[in-house]
Structures are given as C-alpha cells and as structure tokens.
C-alpha cells in the first residue's frame, strides 16, 4: 500500500519498473498507424523514385532498367542545371531572410497581444493558408501584370506612360513566395515568443537596457529555437516552390521544382527527372541540417 498526497492506496507518482514496458507498448501501438501511413504514402514512393533515378533513358523505350549513377553525374556536370540550382538557392535564402525580417515584428506583436481580438488576428493570419498557391499566384498576376492594378494606377496618376515590368521577374517570384510562407513564420515565432516571460524583458528595461538592447540580449536569444524552426520550415518550402515560380517567373526564370516537372511531363525523361528531384532533396536536407547545427551550437553557448 502506497502513500501519495496523504491518501492511502493512491497510485505512485511515477511508473514502476513493471509498468514502464507496458507504457512503452501502449505508446508504440498509438504511433504505429501513423508510421505505417507515412511509410506507405511517403517512403514507398521515394524508394520507387530512387530506383527510377538509376535507370537509363531511351528515346524509343523511354526507360531501360539499369543501375547507374550517370543521371546524377550528367545533372551535376551540366552548367544549365547548376545555374538552376544556384537560382533556387539564392531565391530560397533571400525569401527566408526577408520572411524572418517581416515575420518577427508581427509575431512579437501577436505574442504580446492581450486584447480580445487576438483570436481574430490568429484566424486572419491563417486565412491565406486556406487558398491554394495557384489561386494566390493568379491574384499576383492581376496585381503586378502589365494591365494590373499597380500599372493601371501609375498610368492613371500620370506617373508612368508605359507599364513597368513587374511580372515575370525574380522580384515577382520573391514577393509571391514570401506571401505564401509568411504565415508559417509568424505562427511558429509567436508560439515561442509567448513562452518568454514578459517579466524578463521588464527586468532588463529596469536595469537600463533600451528597446534594441532588450531585443538583442533577451528576446532574440530566447526566441532562437523558434527562429531556427521557422527558418527551416520556410527554407524547405522556398526550395520546393513550383506554382509561384512558374506563374510569376515565366518561362525564362527557372527553379529546380519546375525543372523536375519539365523532365517528367515534357521531356518524358523519368530517370533524369528523378535524379534532379533527389539532388534537390539532398541539397535541401544538407543545408537544413548544417544551418540547424550552426544555429544550435551558437544557441548552446
């Protein structure tokens, strides 16, 4: 008979050695369905795609079963695809940095909001996620196009006589991509900033620290785990953007995701397209792991 909180016969506060294996079995049983679904819908197709990437392309048979890394070597040796990868990396890093700069103030304001309207603001932040990327890109076409709202307004005010080339530019792709990923950054950061006690900031201010010093010495270090998580999420989404790059960048602006699609749909070169897909995946994973490790090491200090 055990004593817990002064009551006779109460359950022990911590599981006994006999109960621990039972709890582990229960946890395993709960996560097993999700693991099976992920394995069936994600791991299985990825394994199949990896096998396809090792085959050879044939203009007559489309694909010949083989085991060769020639598709990877051709992609890495081709200056065109190296340039496409470089464009993708520059766009992903730029959009991630700008999204962080735009999202942190909004996330801080949302986290510190005590008004009854806070729930409404969170819902408004989530609303863009309910609209597909293609629909949002079409909206940007109507805004940035040669006959769009911005150019029509500029001509109506007699500021310009000819339409500005706003669409089918890297800037248009960056704007459209940031609009897609910004809610993810805001919501990720706000949940972490909410966990930072306001008293810590007030104590720093009482000791004479200015607003910027409070941010640099208190808020930023404590919010760094959320910043890393938000940047990783946004970077992965930016690296794999497709609809925004195609609709707002035009045929002359190429990123890796549209290049992969072109190989599958237009060129019918499935082995080469699969190799490009895994090169994009590998680059995303390597940069994500390195960035997380570097920021995590700095945070540990």
Q: Which DSSP string do the residues of 17-70 spell out, in sequence order?
A: TTHHHHHHHHHHHHHHHHHHHHIIIIIHHHHHHHHHHTSEEETTTEEE-----H
CA-wise closest residue to 236 among 164, 201, 188? 188
Distance between CA atoms of residues 88 and 256, nearest Å: 6
Write the DSSP symbol of residue 217: I
The domains located in the chain, with CATH, are 70-300 (1.10.3720.10)
State pLDDT tens for residues 3-45: 444 444 445 554 554 556 777 788 888 888 888 888 888 888 8
Q: What is the pTM of this model?
A: 0.83
CA-wise closest residue to 225 among 154, 163, 284, 296? 296
**Residue 154 has which token pair?**
């500029």
Distance between CA atoms of residues 76 and 47, nearest Å: 21
Residue with token string 């949302």:
110
> Is the pLDDT at 225 greater than 50, yes or no?
yes
Q: How far is CA 188 from CA 90, 123, 223, in A?
A: 23, 14, 10
Write the DSSP symbol of residue 267: S
- What is the pLDDT, as a whole number, of residue 301? 58
> Is the pLDDT at 186 greater than 60, yes or no?
yes
How high is the mean pLDDT of the chain?
86
């Amino acid at each position: 008979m055990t004593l817990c909180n002064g009551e006779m016969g109460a359950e022990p506060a911590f599981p006994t050695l006999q109960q621990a294996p039972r709890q582990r079995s229960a946890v395993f049983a709960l996560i097993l369905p999700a693991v099976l679904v992920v394995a069936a819908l994600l791991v299985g197709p990825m394994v199949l795609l990896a096998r396809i990437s090792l085959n050879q392309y044939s203009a007559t048979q489309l694909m010949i079963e083989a085991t060769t890394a020639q598709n990877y070597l051709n992609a890495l040796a081709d200056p065109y695809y190296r340039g496409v990868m470089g464009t993708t990396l520059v766009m992903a890093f730029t959009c991630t940095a700008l999204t962080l700069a735009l999202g942190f103030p909004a996330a801080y304001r949302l986290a510190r909001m005590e008004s009854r309207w806070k729930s409404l603001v969170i819902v408004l932040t989530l609303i863009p996620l309910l609209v597909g990327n293609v629909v949002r890109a079409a909206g940007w076409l109507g805004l940035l196009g040669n006959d769009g709202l911005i150019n029509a307004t500029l001509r109506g005010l007699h500021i310009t006589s000819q339409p500005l080339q706003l669409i089918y530019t890297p800037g248009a792709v960056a704007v459209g991509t940031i609009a897609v990923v910004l809610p993810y950054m805001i919501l990720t950061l706000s949940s972490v900033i909410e966990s930072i006690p306001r008293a810590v900031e007030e104590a720093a201010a009482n000791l004479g620290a200015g607003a910027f010093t409070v941010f640099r010495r208190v808020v930023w270090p404590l919010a760094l785990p959320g910043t890393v998580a938000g940047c990783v999420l946004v970077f992965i989404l930016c690296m794999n953007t497709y609809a925004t790059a195609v609709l707002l960048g035009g045929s002359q602006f190429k990123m890796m995701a549209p290049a992969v699609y072109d190989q599958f749909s237009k060129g019918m070169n499935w082995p080469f397209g699969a190799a490009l897909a895994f090169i994009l995946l590998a680059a995303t994973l390597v940069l994500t792991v390195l960035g997380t490790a570097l920021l995590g090491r700095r945070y540990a200090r």
